Structures are given as structure tokens and as C-alpha cells.
Structure 1
Amino acid sequence: MDTQEGEQEPQLVLANKLFLITQPDVDDIEKVRLRDEVQTFVTSNDMVPLYETLVGEGVLSLDQKLMDEMRAKNEDELKKIDEKITDAEENLGESEVREAHLAKSLFYIRIGNKGKALEQLKVTESKTVAVGQKMDLVFHTLQIGFFHMDFDLISKSIAKAKKLFEEGGDWERKNRLKIYEGLFCMATRNFAKAADLFLDSISTFTTYDLFTYDTFIFYTVLTSIITLDRVPLKQKVVDAPEILAVIDKIPHLSEFLNSLYDCRYKSFFTAFAGLAEQIKLDRYLHPHFRYYMREVRTVVYSQFLESYKSVTIEAMAKAFGVSVNFIDLELSRFIAAGKLHCKIDKVAGVLETNRPDAKNALYQSTIKQGDLLLNRIQKLSRVIDL
């Protein structure tokens, strides 16, 4: 499976570099290198709007001569594109008119002018008949959305794409859309849906414009671990040949997955610590870093406690390779938040599990909902009496 970064949409590679520049965990030498690469990319693509933004944010330094040169090149290129559009409209067919308008859309995308690019994509769409070509325009819009992390634009574009597929569309584009939607779900903390979409696309992945296959497997394993139960995790992830073919290339990921499944908790915590940096420096996962770390710990603590009616805190600390105080503090937080069903007997130094069974949980839920309904009826009756 080819996983070269060059196959990615260059502007999404650029977006990742811009993200890393802002991160305190990235060292200064690396930031200097990233700034040089950003400067080279922005200059070689004459990205005047983005250059102005980056200068305003202090990422790049202003070079007025360079700015004027890039602006002149943009004006010259735009003039040629407009001449082609006029020529196509006056002398050529509908297909050539569409191609000329598409060229203008791609020009605005290339220079980083979000507003003009979205406007021009709408114009191009009005000249487009084929469903497949309309879908390609939606993918361009989605890439703009991911560059700017504009979740409203992404959400609307995904809905539009699904509507287009009701008119037709090929399997390759449908599978591609699943990955886009999966990334959107992951970036908006809907990890369960993201895992389903990623796992559904694991044997048909071709979306190299978003990320490499290695990154796709990384996301698939991370989202699956906190959302799948033990049996489906084994079937769909631990034993999946597509995952097995790649997982060893990604530092700590194989140990992270397998030590959790094999109940090797000390190894799991070591691998987890190694993965933390990768998660923190991932553009899409970074905002959910603390949430994800909590969810993983909930999964692993729950798995450990499921095996026992009661267990000493010392035994649990030893299994995880941490101190008794650490486990005591950790579990008290998770119990208070309702994430773990157990109680701590500090005097005896014992953890006692009190997992509610499904019937009991349903009974409690019914009682609670019944009380709410009675309260509402009482309030309503008072209003009616008045």
C-alpha cells in the first residue's frame, strides 16, 4: 500500500504545518524548518490572501516587494482565465465553458481565497450536469472546509453529497465520502460513528488526498478502542489483515491495541504514554486530547475491574505499574464522574465493584422517567386549574 505524503492534497499538508507551528510541544528548530517550508509553499503558489493572514498572525514576516510580485502574478493569471471563459462562452461548447470555470475555481483554491473559491465553485456547479463531476466539486469544497476547520461548511457539504448520491454516483466516490465523513465525525468528537465509517472503508480506502493509509489505520485503531466492545474489537481490528499489514509501522500502536486486548496493563500504559504525543500533535485529535485520554483510561479500568467482585488497590496498582496513590486518585475521579461502577474501601484498601445489571439499569431508568412525567403532569394540572 503506497503511503507517500506527496499524494495528499498539498494544502492539507500545509494546514498541518501551520498547526504544528502553533504548538508549544514542537521545538524551536522544527518550527523554523516548518516556517521555511510554509514560506516556500505560499510563495511558489502566489497565495496572497493566506500570506496576508500569516503576516497578520506573526507566522511570516512581511516582504512588500514579494507581496506586490505575487499580487501582480495573480492579476495576470486571473485575466487569462477570464479571457478563456469569455472565449469558451462565445465560441465553444458547454463542456469547455465548464472547464474554464473550474480552472477559475481551482485558481482561487490554490491561492487560498476561501470566499472567492466557494463562490466560483457554485458558478461551476451551475454549469455542471454529470453527478460525478458535481461530487468532485463537493470534494473540493470539503477540502476547503478541512483546511479552515469550518465544520458548518463540512457538515452542509456532506449532506449535499449524500443528496447527490440519491441521483446516482459511483462506488469509488461513495467510499471516498465515507472517509471524509469519518474524519469530520472524529474531528467533532463523534468517535463511535467515525470508527464505524473507517472500519467500513478499510478494504476500499483510496482517499490519499486527505491522509496516508498509515494515518487512516492510526485513526481507525484509536477510534475503535474507545467505542467497540471486546468481541467486535477482536474481529474487526485486532485480527483485521489490513490493520495487521500496517500497524507495526506506527510507533506504539500495535502494543497499545494488543496489550489492551491481552490484558497486559503495564505494557498498555507504556504504549499509551508513547502514543500521547502523536495524538496531541494531530491536527484533528488535538482539541479532544484530554477527553480521549480519559475515555481510554475508562475503557482499561473497566476491563480490569470486570474480572473481579473485589480487588485490592495495591494489586491494581501493581498490574498497571503505577503507585497506589495514583490509582486511588484516578479511580476516585472516575467514580465521582459516574464512569466506573465501583467503590473504594479506604480502610481495607479494597475496590468493590457494583456494576448494575441491564434489567436493574432499565428499572432505574423507567422509575426516573416516570417521576419526570408525573412532575410534568402535576405542573400542567396546576396551569389548567388556573
Structure 2
Amino acid sequence: MDDQALNHWEEKLKRGEVVVTEGYISNYAGRTQVDRLLLIGDTCQPLAVEALKLAVNLLKKSSDVPRYKQAVATLASIDPSDPDSRTDEEWVDRVLRKVASETEKYEAQLKSYKHNLIKESIRMGHEDLGNHYYASGDLSSAFKSYSRMRDFCTAPKHILDMSLQIIKVCIEQGNYMSVQSHIMKIRNLLRTPEEEADLAPKLAVATGLSHLATGNFKDAAKTFLECPNTLGNSWNEVISSNDVAIYGGLCALASMNRPQLKSEVLENNVFRNFLELEPHIRRAITFFYSAKYNACLSILQTYRNDYLLDIHLQRHVEVIYDLVRSKSIVQYFVPFSTVTLSAMSEAFGTREKEMERELVHMIELGKLEARIDTQNRLVVSKETNPRSSVHNKTLLMAQHYERVARLRLMRMQISLAGIEVKPPKRESVPKGLSFQQVGDIRNSPVIF
């Protein structure tokens, strides 16, 4: 985290506005609570102690010894005097013995089920072992155990449950290729209306996270925008409804134009329920659509440091913000043929020299069709000839139409001349016989 972000959090701490509290973590459940706290502890020094202490307390209620040791070690490097920075060896030994004992128990049960050759029991045995590995923090073993359930699933419901468990593990591992693969498996299964209603929001957010992870902001935006508002807290082991609003809104700002933002975001009755949870996202999108770009960027800048602490959004924040700012500058410049640098710097709340450097960079990358008059301090759009452009498009269209017409006339003449080459017709086979049997009959000698 940069110095600006650190100063932001230090000021909020001094004012007592914040911080990482039970309120933030209460939006989530399961392992993602600890993952998010550990990320804050690793990247934000002002909030690290509080986040790590919460993480240690949560981990001591679980059986995940490796992450407990990780949290304690990080806390000890920041605040060695804190009581929680010392490893509770008694708890560690007790939990390790318990984990080893339960591992032996579940493996013995699974071995017994395999001897009995009852598929349902074997499936449940793999599931119990996978749940045990997942709870103890061994994600790779959990993934293997869940995957082995596939050969013993006897109903579509079993495949659905297995795939959802694997998707949850793969999201934590960052293995989004497997996430997409199991999403496709679920989509190809026959589902009851009740199952469809339960699965639709989970599949939507899982697909959205996979697109977000690869930097495909447009597809991520469309997927989050289509997420049913029945998500609620049904999958807060992975994502919350607030996250859907933030991810969907930011990806839409980065990848959609103004008409799309109006029709697909602001007028989207389903996504509106999510936006109500994060009203600043709605305000930012509304300002962008209303061409109030500086107000939009100011809102995003206010929440930038919060997004830098998000486990899924952190590495995309700078890219998304750059895309939104570049789009804002391009959209601002569209109505003008010439605009002064001072007017643009004032419109975007920055100094003239910084604005000039930014515009030069955008022109070099081909994002802005303009040139800069450094003597008169003007930004001038490149001259275009709309009449010539229309003529060129018309000529290309006429050439395409002529070529298609010639090909169709040629085909008609070939057909009328009877020189068309047709593929041989497939011979019909009498009912009850195969092609091999027909060939044998034809090749057999005829006896009178």
C-alpha cells in the first residue's frame, strides 16, 4: 500500500472513524473472514494489529493451525508486545493431535466403505474427508477428496453439491480454470426450479469472479449485473451482496459507455437492489452518465483505499481507475474541436502540467485522437473529413454487394447448366439390418 493510502488510514484512526471491526467481518463467514483479515494485516500497517488480532481469535475457534501460526508470526513482527503475538503451543498441540486423529478416522471409514462397494457410502466418505481437510486448511487435499466423489455420484444433486464445494475451494486457491470448468458442468445438468433459484446467484458471482480475476472487466460487469437479488447471505463464505454492487459497478464503469451504463446499470431493476447497499457506487455511475466526470472520479478516489484492501479487487484497482479516468477524458473531449489545457485541468481537478503529461501519454497509446499545441496551451482534435468517411464506407458496401451478386448469379448458371457437383446420396438400409449386413447379402452368391 502506498504512502497516500497509509496517511488516509492513519487520519481515519486519529478521528476514530474506523476501522476493521466486527461489522466489516460480519458480512462474511468461514475461511474468507480470515483471508480478508490476513490481507489487511499484510498490506495496511495502521490497521494490521486490529485485523491480525481478530484473525487470531477466529482461527483459535477453528482447526487451521498453519494459518494460525502465520497470523501470529505476522502480528509478532508488527507488535511483539501484544499478548496474541505469542504462539499458544498448548492449543497448537491439542489441535494437531485432534486433526491427526480425525484424519485417521475418516480414512479408515472410507477404506471400510470401499470394501463394502456401496457407492453412496464411498461418496459420503470422500465428502467427509474433504470437509475435514478444508476445515484444517489443507486445500489441495480437500480438492482431491471432493474430485474423487465424481465417480460415485448417483444423482444430479450429488454432482451439484460436489461442484459447488470444488468451486469454493478453487476460488480460495485462485484456480479459476477449474472454477469455469465446474460451472459448465453445473449448467449442463438438469435442475429443478428450486435448485435453479438457489444456484443462479452462486453461479453468477462465481463466473463474475473468474472474469474479474483474468481482467475481463466487460464480461465480469455483465455477469454481476445479471446476478439475481436473491443472493443475500446464502454464499457469504465466498462473497457478499455489497461486493456484487462494488465489483459490478466498477467493472461497468471501466468497460461500458454512457448509454450502456444507463440501460444496463442505472435502469437495471435487479441490480438496483445491490446498488442500494453501496449508494456511492450508484452516485459515481450517475455522475459519469451526466458528464460530471470530476465528481465521479472524486467519489472513486475517496473509496480507493478501501478497495485496495479487498481480496478480489486489490490487484485490479489501479487498472480499473486508469480505465475510468481515460474514458472520462475522452468523453469530455468529444464535443470539442479545441479546448485549453487550463480548462481540462480545472475540469479534472489537477495541475496543468500533470494534465499535459497525462494527455501526452494517452495520445501515445492511441487512446485520444488529438494533438497538443504547447505554444498556445491547447488540445486540438485531429481533423477528420466526415464526407470522405461516408464515401469510403458506401464504396466498400457497394463492392461487397456486387461480389455477392456475382457469386449468386454464377451459382444459378451452374445449376441451370447441370454441371453442379452433388455429393453421393447415402444408401438407405432396411429396418433391422446394418450396413455390414447389407454388404454381406449383396456379396453372397445367389443359389437357384
Q: Same fold (TM over 0.5)?
A: yes
Aligned to 1:284: 312
CA shift for structure 1 position 182: 0.7
1:122 alignment partner in structure 2: 147
Q: Give the aligned partner of residue 158 of structure 1.
A: 180
* Structure 2 CA distance for aligned equivalents of residues 127 and 218 of structure 1: 39
For residues 144 and 357 of structure 1, the distance between their equivalents in structure 2, rounded to whole angstroms, comes to: 56
CA contact (8 A) 1:5 1:212 kept: no
1:66-145 matches, within 5 Å, as 66-85=91-110, 94-145=119-170
CA distance in 2, matches of 1:50, 1:357: 64
CA–CA separation in structure 2 for the residues paired with 1:232 and 1:98: 47
Correspondence for 1:313: 341
Corresponding residue to 2:57 among 40, 43, 63: 40
Give the match for residue 336 of structure 1.
Answer: 364
Provide the C-alpha distance between the structure 2 equivalents of 1:79 and 1:107, rounded to a whole number of angstroms: 11
In structure 2, C-alpha distance between the alignment counterparts of 1:319 and 1:69, rounded to whole Å: 62
- Counterpart secondary structure, 1:352: strand
> What is the deviation of 1:84?
4.3
Deviations 1:140-170 (A, max 9, x none): 222222223x3xx321232133135324345
Q: Contact between 1:50 and 1:111, CA under 8 Å: does it hold in 2?
A: no
Residues in 2 aligned to 1:109 and 1:282: alpha-carbon distance in whole angstroms: 22
Q: CA deviation at 1:117?
A: 1.0
Q: Residue 18 of structure 1 is aligned with which of 35, 38, 57?
A: 38
Q: What letter is aligned with 1:173?
A: L
Q: 1:335, CA displacement in angstroms? A: 1.3
Aligned-residue identity in percent: 18
Contact 1:309/1:353 (CA < 8 Å) preserved in 2? yes
SS at match of 2:310: coil
Separation of aligned partners in 2, 1:355 and 1:244: 41
In 1, Cα distance between equivalents of 2:389 and 2:206: 40
Residues 204 and 109 (structure 1), Cα distance of their counterparts in 2 relative to 1, 3 Å cut: same
The equivalent of 2:214 in structure 1 is: 188
Where does residue 382 of structure 1 map in the other structure? none
TM-score (structure 1 length as normaliser): 0.81
Deviation larger for 193-202 or 3-12? 3-12
Equivalent position amino acid for 2:180 in 1:
I
| CA deviation map 1:167-213 (0-9, x unaligned) | 43452425422310211111221111101111222445454432211
Secondary structure of the corresponding residue to residue 226 of structure 1: helix
Give the unaligned 5+ runs of structure 2: 1-22, 77-84, 393-448
Paired with 1:230 and 1:208, the residues of 2 have a C-alpha distance of 32
| Distance in 2 between residues matched to 1:121 and 1:113, nearest whole Å | 12
Which of the residues 180, 193, 197 maps onto 2:223? 197
Do residues 179 (structure 1) and 205 (structure 2) align? yes
Over aligned residue pairs, what C-alpha RMSD do you find?
3.1
Change (3 A) 1:175 1:360: farther
8 Å contact kept, 1:45–1:111? yes
CA contact (8 A) 2:167 2:182 kept: no
Q: Give the direction of change, closer, same or farther, for the CA distance of 1:245–1:204 in structure 2 (3 Å limit).
A: closer
| 1:143–1:167 distance in 2 versus 1, CA, 3 Å | closer
Partner amino acid, structure 2, of 1:34: A
The question of whether the paired residues in 2 share the 8 Å contact of 1:237 and 1:243 is answered with yes
In 2 relative to 1, CA 123–61 (structure 1 residues): closer, same or farther, beyond 3 Å? farther
Q: Which whole-Å CA distance do the structure 1 matches of 2:66 and 2:354 have between them?
A: 50
Using the alignment, how far apart are the partners of 2:287 and 2:319 within structure 1? Answer: 21
C-alpha spacing 1:357/1:221, structure 2 compared with 1 (3 Å): farther
The structure with the largest alpha-carbon Rg is 2
Q: Which moved more, 1:260-269 or 1:188-197?
A: 260-269
CA distance in 2, matches of 1:133, 1:298: 48
Structure 1: 5+ residue runs without aligned partners? Answer: 364-386
| Alignment partner of 1:236 out of 256, 264, 277 | 264
In 2, the alpha carbon distance for the partners of 1:65 and 1:264 equals 59
> Does the 8 Å contact 2:288/2:328 carry over to 1?
yes
Code of the residue aligned with 2:41 in structure 1: it is: I
Counterpart secondary structure, 2:43: coil
| SS of residue in 2 equivalent to 1:140 | helix
| CA spacing shift, 1:114–1:6, aligned 2, 3 Å | same
